[in-house]
Amino acid sequence: KSFLPSDLSDEERKIIDYIMQKGGKAHAEDLAAALNMPIGKLNSSLMVLSIKGILSQQSQNEYLLKEVECFAN
Protein backbone atom coordinates (compact mmCIF):
# COMPACT_ATOMS: atom_id res chain seq x y z
CA LYS A 1 0.00 0.00 0.00
CA SER A 2 1.15 3.51 -0.65
CA PHE A 3 0.28 7.08 0.18
CA LEU A 4 -0.78 9.69 -2.33
CA PRO A 5 1.58 12.63 -2.68
CA SER A 6 0.57 15.87 -0.99
CA ASP A 7 1.46 17.89 -4.11
CA LEU A 8 -1.55 16.80 -6.17
CA SER A 9 -3.43 19.49 -8.06
CA ASP A 10 -7.12 20.11 -7.45
CA GLU A 11 -7.87 18.42 -10.79
CA GLU A 12 -5.82 15.36 -9.84
CA ARG A 13 -7.63 15.06 -6.50
CA LYS A 14 -11.03 15.36 -8.21
CA ILE A 15 -10.05 12.59 -10.63
CA ILE A 16 -8.91 10.32 -7.80
CA ASP A 17 -12.06 11.03 -5.76
CA TYR A 18 -14.29 10.19 -8.73
CA ILE A 19 -12.43 6.97 -9.51
CA MET A 20 -12.65 5.93 -5.85
CA GLN A 21 -16.43 6.54 -5.93
CA LYS A 22 -16.64 4.30 -9.01
CA GLY A 23 -14.91 1.39 -7.28
CA GLY A 24 -11.39 2.18 -8.41
CA LYS A 25 -11.90 2.12 -12.18
CA ALA A 26 -13.25 4.69 -14.66
CA HIS A 27 -13.28 5.59 -18.35
CA ALA A 28 -11.83 8.90 -19.50
CA GLU A 29 -15.11 9.92 -21.17
CA ASP A 30 -17.02 9.39 -17.90
CA LEU A 31 -14.43 11.39 -15.99
CA ALA A 32 -14.58 14.28 -18.46
CA ALA A 33 -18.38 14.41 -18.31
CA ALA A 34 -18.70 13.97 -14.54
CA LEU A 35 -15.98 16.50 -13.71
CA ASN A 36 -16.89 18.92 -16.52
CA MET A 37 -13.21 18.94 -17.50
CA PRO A 38 -11.90 19.55 -21.02
CA ILE A 39 -10.53 16.29 -22.44
CA GLY A 40 -7.09 17.81 -23.05
CA LYS A 41 -6.72 18.88 -19.41
CA LEU A 42 -8.09 15.53 -18.25
CA ASN A 43 -5.66 13.55 -20.41
CA SER A 44 -2.77 15.63 -19.10
CA SER A 45 -3.81 15.00 -15.48
CA LEU A 46 -4.33 11.28 -16.15
CA MET A 47 -0.83 11.06 -17.63
CA VAL A 48 0.69 12.82 -14.60
CA LEU A 49 -1.18 10.51 -12.22
CA SER A 50 0.06 7.50 -14.19
CA ILE A 51 3.64 8.77 -14.08
CA LYS A 52 3.31 9.32 -10.32
CA GLY A 53 2.24 5.67 -9.99
CA ILE A 54 -1.25 6.48 -8.71
CA LEU A 55 -3.19 5.26 -11.75
CA SER A 56 -2.57 2.61 -14.34
CA GLN A 57 -4.08 2.63 -17.78
CA GLN A 58 -5.99 -0.62 -18.35
CA SER A 59 -7.15 -0.02 -21.90
CA GLN A 60 -7.15 2.90 -24.28
CA ASN A 61 -9.57 4.96 -22.16
CA GLU A 62 -9.91 3.05 -18.89
CA TYR A 63 -7.92 3.90 -15.78
CA LEU A 64 -7.46 1.93 -12.58
CA LEU A 65 -6.57 3.46 -9.22
CA LYS A 66 -3.68 1.59 -7.67
CA GLU A 67 -4.08 0.42 -4.08
CA VAL A 68 -3.64 3.30 -1.67
CA GLU A 69 -4.24 3.76 2.05
CA CYS A 70 -5.00 7.45 2.32
CA PHE A 71 -4.01 10.94 1.23
CA ALA A 72 -0.81 12.30 2.71
CA ASN A 73 -1.45 15.88 3.80
Is residue 60 predicted with pLDDT exceeding 90? no
Closest to 55 measured CA to CA, from 35, 22, 26: 26
Q: How confident is the model at residue 59 (pLDDT cuts 50, 70, 90)?
A: confident
Q: How, if at all, do strands 55-57 and 62-65 pair?
A: antiparallel
Is residue 56 predicted with pLDDT exceeding 70? yes
pTM, rounded to two decimals = 0.82
The per-residue pLDDT for 68 is 54
Q: How confident is the model at residue 29 (pLDDT cuts 50, 70, 90)?
A: very high
Task: State the Cα torsion 7-8-13-19 to the nearest 10°.
Answer: -120
The per-residue pLDDT for 6 is 81
